[in-house]
Amino acid sequence: MGVEGGMKCVKFLVFFFNFIFWLCGIALIALGVYVQIELNKTLQTTGSISSSGASIIILSVGVIVFFISFFGCCGAIKENYCMVTTFAVLLTLIFLVEIAAAIAGYVFKDKVRTVIDTEIRAEMNQYNNSDIAKGLDDVQRTYRCCGASNYSDWFHVKGFEPQRVPRSCCKNDTDCTRNPTDANVYTEGCVSKIEAWMKKHFIIVAGVALGIAFFELLGIIFACCLMKGIRSGYEVM
């Protein structure tokens, strides 16, 4: 009876953790959508950041976690060895993918600034496109920044009038477009402001991912225990 009671406890723990995974999947999907929307607002249409990358990975993992929780729940309730095994294997793969993504994020973190700089300068050179201009103006107003590294970057944009900046660079809604100085324009570049925003939110994403990884590891352990109990022929109803 001791073993039977223990396996019954494991069975319901597996079911409980699958409910947690289901919630984690929803959280990751919501987080992925949020990051994608924010990146689309920040970096409009000129490159790969807004169309792929971290947000797509987060969203994909969220969808996968959401669906594999089905195998764990059904396998635990029905005591189906095949379904519990499928759940454990898929959860292990997700856990390994998250570790690989974390390592890749750490390795390539120093390249983020270069990519952002390239994106911002590409959008500046396409400022004659009304859609891109609107997006870049929104970025400069939101982050209170001007140009890539500073407002003088606008002086070298092809097709843009010399010694002028867009109205979105002006402080306090003043008209500084023809006479930009440190007193009437945003002096910080958008690259450093966006990089700071991304680093701040990366900490949030990392914390969420760490919490999910902890529950995944416990889920794998409990699933393996339940698999062993089912295979040994113990009654866990």
Task: Give the model confidence (pLDDT) of 74-127 as tens digits.
Answer: 777 777 778 788 888 888 888 887 777 777 766 776 677 888 888 889 889 888
Contact (CB, 8 A) for 58 and 27: no
With a pLDDT cut of 90, the percent of the chain lying above it is 11
Query: What mean pLDDT, rounded, does the chain reach?
Result: 77
Domain definitions of the chain by residue range: 2-112+192-231, 115-191
Tell me the β-bridge partners of 185.
170
Selected from 3.40.30.10, 1.10.1450.10, 3.10.580.10, 3.30.360.10, the CATH number assigned to the domain covering 115-191 reads: 1.10.1450.10
Which residue has better confidence, 230 or 53? Answer: 230
CA–CA dist 187, 190 (Å, integer):
10
Q: At CA 202, angle to CA 198 and CA 206, rounded to 5?
A: 175
Closest CA to 68 of 103, 13, 17, 31: 17
| End-to-end CA, the chain | 12
Contact (CB, 8 A) for 187 and 151: yes
Which residue has better confidence, 56 or 166? Answer: 166
What does residue 126 show for φ and ψ, rounded to 5 degrees?
-115, 25
